Amino acid sequence: MFLEAQAGWRLSSRKGRKAPKGIAVGRLGFDSRMPRQKLLREVFAEVGTGCTVETPLNANWGCKHVHLGKGIYINSNVTFVDDEHIYIGDYSMVSPNVVFTTSGHPVLPILREHHYVYNLPIHIGRNVWIGSGSQIMPGITIGDNSVIGAGSVVTHDIPANVVAFGVPCQVIREIGEKDREFYYKDRKLDVWE
């Protein structure tokens, strides 16, 4: 299915606040004019305020089993294999070409020949960022604030407050002081000044 959502996110600072200096990314400010919110509410099982979903969007059940909190941003060409329910927490961001698959087939050939399938729900916490091209397997839970690096295949649950990536996706480190100082490699944050 294709879902046309408004491109409401912008690189901008919040009114009355100083824009961050010296970094290539600004705040993602939400455009309060939301003519397509009604459509999002019709398409998704649940949708909070301030969500943006880019197109194209692919979903087995038309997102009828996808639950979005508030302030979520979903970039283009995301696929929801939503045979089971998929829950995405407030302020999470999903990069292009991410696949959430709640379904799988038994490895035993005779069962697949008879089209056996299993479905397990996926739970994404609050303020999670999933990097582009990642694959989220059936039954996975990702904890609040965690970052999943681009190209990861998430086969085990990921705890809260960590950076994890790889195939299979593994916890690399906890989010901490380093991240208050640098936003990317050796590029320094100056948003605190």
Which of residues 66 and 163 has its CB atom nearest to ligand COA in the complex? 163
Tokens describing residue 153: 């295949």
Which of residues 85 and 146 has its CB atom nearest to ligand COA in the complex? 146
Told to judge if 105 belongs to the known catalytic residues of this protein, a careful annotator would answer: yes
Minimum CB separation of residue 7 from ligand COA in Å reads 15
Q: Per the residue annotation, which of 105, 114, 115, 123 is the catalytic one? A: 105
State the DSSP H helix or E strand holding residue 42, giving kind and residue range, or none if neither.
Answer: helix 37-43
State the residue number with the nearest CB to ligand COA.
149
The DSSP line for 151-181 is T-EE-S-B-SSEEEETTTTEEEEE--THHHH
Minimum CB separation of residue 47 from ligand COA in Å reads 20
Which of residues 53 and 83 has its CB atom nearest to ligand COA in the complex? 53
**Amino acid (one-letter) located at 36:** R
Q: How far is CA 74 from CA 13, 54, 171, 177, 192, in A?
A: 20, 6, 23, 28, 28
Minimum CB separation of residue 38 from ligand COA in Å reads 27
User: Site residues (CB under 6 A) for ligand COA?
Assistant: 95, 131-132, 147, 149-151, 163, 165-166, 185
Which of residues 95 and 145 has its CB atom nearest to ligand COA in the complex? 95
Minimum CB separation of residue 105 from ligand COA in Å reads 27
Q: Count Cβ neighbours within 10 Å for each residue of 101-131 and write b for 16 or more, e otherwise.
A: bbebeeeeeeeeeeeeeebebbbbbbbbbbb
Catalytic residue numbers, as ranges = 105
